Amino acid sequence: MITRRRLVEHAGAVLAGFGAVRFAQAAVPGLSDALPSGTRSEATLEALPGKKPLIKLAYRPPNYETPIEYFRAPITPNDAFFVRYHLAGIPDANDKTIDPKSWRVEVGGEGANGQATLSLDDLKAMPSAEVVAVNQCSGNRRGLFQPHVPGVEWGFGAMGCARWKGVRLKDVLDKVGLKKEAIEIVLNGADGPVTDKTPDFVKSIPVWKATDEATLIAYEMNGAPLPHLNGAPARVIVPGWTGTYWMKHIVSIKPVTKPDTNFWMAAAYRIPVGKFPLVARFISQETAANTPITEMVVNSLITSHPDGASVKAGTVTVGGIAWDGGYGIRTVEISTDGGRSWKEATLGQDLGRFAFRAFSLAIPAQRGKLSVTARATNAIGQTQTAALIANPAGYHHNVMHTVTLNVG
């Protein structure tokens, strides 16, 4: 959405705002050996403004993942929530396009009957809605693919779960009225490319998902305004679906009657047809060969202990979190014999079907190496894969997570 002229207009303010800030760099403890060696050597632990130190994979556009220890609780703190941008044209927090006082979202287009321009106060005057939902990058765990595939080489932390508050997207769409031929809602944010020839990051979602009760425009995250680099002042929340659709800094919501054809829909974020056991379809964007990524696959992560941790012999309680595309977690099982036998873990508080679900289990630990594997199953019987499901862009990694404990 951002244009070069607008950026240059705001150049002075941006430079003045950022000039003096410096942050310490530190090596990252406990990075997975499965990541590319180049990733392991360049990743650092660094704090962006307003953030705790996160795992820096790339400075510009910023791609920083959340260290695994923050996933010991089912809600991810705002200052530890991961940061992911495709393009480096990111307006400063004080830029008029995203300043809460001057920010506006335009709603309308050829698939709508009318047009509306809404301010943050306008949204806050509407009935509010809340959802606890996982925002996970489509490529989370890409760095663990074997063989490796190009892209941002994420470990486990390109995800987070927050309580989002805002308005239902369908209530906003009701203000303009959808034509009956409308099939997609095109979403654009205030951020954008650095050069005019780079396709702006624009995504669409099908009308059925846009008008779902749980799909929001959020202006609060865990009871606070959205952090700058998590989409301030308002972003789209698409519970169950991967983060690519959760447009940050939302400034344009455009109903359309024909499938959107921009690069980020037609070429990017696609998965091969038939490889993943998914229910949610995006029919207007499907081709014979591939389909847009939609809902998240069922997954879990052991967070109580880092891989290689030392524990005392006796009983050790292992735990972590599980999540899926919005059907809800039914069970999490633990195996200590490489998957030959499984024991059901105890599930923690249910924060809703789109949220992280905590799990824990006390297991006997004898001296030596103890391999602990977690496997989640959701309410419609989907479970995790034992063998990686290869795909060119490195999406939907849900291979069962294993940590090895050193029992002494």
Partner 1 sequence: MRALTIAIVTAVLALPAFADEASIALKKAPGLDKVQANCGTCHSLDYIQMNSPFMSAATWDAEVTKMIKAYGAPISDADAAAIKEYLKANYGG
Residues that bind partner 1 (CB under 8 A): 4, 7-8, 10-11, 14-15, 18, 21-23, 25, 36-39, 41-44, 46, 48-49, 56-62, 87-90, 147-148, 150-153, 193-199, 263, 267
Smaller CB distance to partner 1: residue 209 or 248?
248
Smaller CB distance to partner 1: residue 13 or 125?
13
Smaller CB distance to partner 1: residue 100 or 199?
199
Q: What does the chain come to in residues?
A: 408
Smaller CB distance to partner 1: residue 266 or 311?
266
Smaller CB distance to partner 1: residue 25 or 406?
25
CB of 344 to partner 1, least distance (A): 38
CB of 30 to partner 1, least distance (A): 18
Smaller CB distance to partner 1: residue 23 or 342?
23
CA distance 155 to 137: 11
CB of 18 to partner 1, least distance (A): 5
Q: Which residues contact residue 154 at a Cβ distance below 8 angstroms, ignoring those fewer than 6 apart?
A: 57, 63, 65, 137, 139, 140, 141, 142, 143
CA distance 88 to 48: 15
Q: Which residues contact residue 221 at a Cβ distance below 8 angstroms, ignoring those fewer than 6 apart?
A: 78, 81, 162, 163, 164, 165, 227, 230
Residue with tokens 């009308």: 207
- Residue-wise over 69-78: b if at least 16 C-beta within 10 A, else e? ebbeebebbb
CB of 81 to partner 1, least distance (A): 17
Q: Note whether 299 and 376 are within 8 A (CB).
A: yes
CB of 234 to partner 1, least distance (A): 20
CB of 148 to partner 1, least distance (A): 4
Smaller CB distance to partner 1: residue 22 or 340?
22
**CA angle centred on 385, ends 382 and 388, rounded to 5°:** 140
CB of 60 to partner 1, least distance (A): 4
Smaller CB distance to partner 1: residue 23 or 327?
23
Q: Which of 156, 142, 137, 153 is nearest to 41 (CA)?
A: 153
Tokens of 129: 């809605």
Smaller CB distance to partner 1: residue 93 or 347?
93
Smaller CB distance to partner 1: residue 267 or 273?
267
Q: Which of 205, 209, 207, 231 is nearest to 220 (CA)?
A: 231
Beta carbons within 10 angstroms of residue 308's beta carbon: 12
Q: Note whether 346 and 360 are within 8 A (CB).
A: yes
Between the alpha carbon of residue 322 and those of residues 73, 178, 328, 381, the distances in Å are 11, 36, 9, 14
* DSSP string across 118-181: EEHHHHHTSPPEEEEEEEE-TTTTGGG-SS--SS----S-SEEEEEEEEEEHHHHHHHH-B-TT
- Residue-wise over 271-287: b if at least 16 C-beta within 10 A, else e? beeeebebeeebebbee
CB of 8 to partner 1, least distance (A): 6
CB of 100 to partner 1, least distance (A): 19
Residue with tokens 């490489």: 338
CB of 194 to partner 1, least distance (A): 5
